[in-house]
Amino acid sequence: MSSDGRGGPASAEPAQPHAPNEVIVNVYDITADYNAWTYWCGVGVFHAGVEVYGVEYAYGGHDYDSSGVFATDPKDPPGPVVFRRSIRMGACELTESEVLQLVQA
């Protein structure tokens, strides 16, 4: 797992090319200072978003007028979170329109 050497988030890594239907979980530190001390003990406070077809979907607090699942640009979520790492999960078998229907349901 990448780190700045003090348990903090990794510096920006160059984006690796991937297929549009590849599912990626982007992990963020919610409390970077706290996580810098606790990460190596296996604990921390994190946020995650699921990226597929060039859109990142997440659940939680944001500045939009709705609640629940929201869409954002990959690795650019609202709020004071700090990107930590991406985890490749494999290919999505749904089409882009099927993913949209699922998220909007």
Task: Give residue-wise pLDDT tens across range 41-70.
Answer: 888 888 999 999 999 999 876 666 666 788
Integer angstrom CA distances of residue 80 from 2, 77, 103, 105? 20, 9, 24, 28
Question: Is 37 inside a domain boundary?
Answer: yes
Question: Is 62 inside a domain boundary?
Answer: yes
Question: Is 13 inside a domain boundary?
Answer: no
pLDDT of residue 3: 44
Which residues in the chain come in under a pLDDT of 50?
1-6, 11
How much is the pTM? Answer: 0.74
pLDDT of residue 56: 95
Number of domains into which the chain is organized = 1
Question: Is 6 inside a domain boundary?
Answer: no
pLDDT of residue 74: 94
Q: What is the residue range of 83's domain?
A: 22-104
List the strands of the sheet with 82-91, edge to edge. 69-72, 55-59, 46-52, 22-29, 82-91
